Structure 1
């Protein structure tokens, strides 16, 4: 089994790269934000932890997390965000480790907004999806209906490209065509020694 970590800034096209791994190599996808989201469902440890930190005021009448209200509450509050991350991140990574342990897949790709050195305990290689800023802005405006200003704000608040490059073993330039990205993935997997992929055409 090989486990790859995949990261990149907003609008870089990580979902397109995940799709190629899934389609061409039958890879199992684990998306950290979806794992975290499930941990914040009723009866899950993430939600219980958030209630103990912030009280029942963060819940809706049906006992689910008021995601919009909670996001507004912690937005622009670094201390609150730090507390949320300190709770949710370890739970998320423990759940990801559990899913990997129980998987029978040859190739697993873990996608997360940001990795750190501890990610090496989970992933053998870290891949960074890099895309020209202007292309990222265009994608966000088209796909999510964001204004240019909102795109720039979000990008400004994310980790710096140099931080990603420090951690990454490989970079996928996702500014071009699907086929160009596919070729880069093929080359990367060759370098890692993973050869359980499609035949060259």
Structure 2
């Protein structure tokens, strides 16, 4: 069967940690053949040895952020910046422009179909690259429970991470559409079908 992918649609999917974006991305890939670009994964790539991101981070924070082989010591660095709002902001100023430039280039290379750019930190200067911005909403306590069960985080760490991200109101103000991810996968499929219809499905 041919895929109904004649038209290109680019969506930014935003939402905080623990909102269940991975589950939604899986549905979008399975049901709508979406090409998914995750900002966190792009950032990790740019923070690898020899990449521009790590070079700039080392210039800003010193070689103490590296392990014995010259790679970023991610666990130690994450603990350091999440407890220091100024350091976290400095990292964002360094990494985010590199990430978005990489993403813009990738999106422009894709000629058709559904493209999802997933991020917890929304693009501040998107221009006209996105057709829509979707906010994924999940109850605060559900997010905390997921993080504690799936990642082994303490409640304190969950709250600290959430405090370092945008509030629900801020996410909503940046979005064109809200998806409720408090239900089952079938509930989410129903919401996505109401938005996308038969576009990008196999048929």
TM, length-normalised to structure 1: 0.89
Q: Deviations over 1:125-177 (max 9, x none)?
A: 10011112222222222212233343333333321100011111111101111
2:188 is aligned with 1:184: no
RMSD of aligned alpha carbons: 1.9
Q: Residues 179 and 144 from structure 1, CA distance in 2 versus in 1: closer, same or farther, beyond 3 angstroms?
A: same
Partner of 1:52: 59
Q: 2:17 aligns with which of 10, 19, 30?
A: 10
SS of 2:58's equivalent in the other structure is helix
Q: Is the 1:27–1:105 Cα contact (8 Å) retained in structure 2? A: no
Q: Is the 2:135–2:177 Cα contact (8 Å) retained in structure 1? A: yes
2:35 is aligned with 1:28: yes
C-alpha separation in 2, matches of 1:148 and 1:79 = 23
Q: 1:197 aligns with which of 192, 198, 201?
A: 201
C-alpha separation in 1, matches of 2:30 and 2:47 = 30
Q: Which structure 2 residues correspond to residues 1-201 of structure 1 after superposition, within 5 A?
A: 1-190=8-197, 195-197=199-201
Q: Residues 86 and 150 from structure 1, CA distance in 2 versus in 1: closer, same or farther, beyond 3 angstroms?
A: closer
Name the structure where helix makes up a greater proportion of residues: 1
Cα shift at 1:113: 0.5
Q: Residues 148 and 58 from structure 1, CA distance in 2 versus in 1: closer, same or farther, beyond 3 angstroms?
A: closer
C-alpha separation in 2, matches of 1:55 and 1:148 = 31
C-alpha separation in 2, matches of 1:52 and 1:83 = 12
The structure, 1 or 2, with the larger RCO (C-alpha pairs under 8 Å, 6+ apart) is 2
The number of aligned residues is 196
TM, length-normalised to structure 2: 0.88
C-alpha separation in 1, matches of 2:107 and 2:24 = 20
C-alpha separation in 1, matches of 2:75 and 2:47 = 13
Unaligned runs of 5+ in 2: 1-7
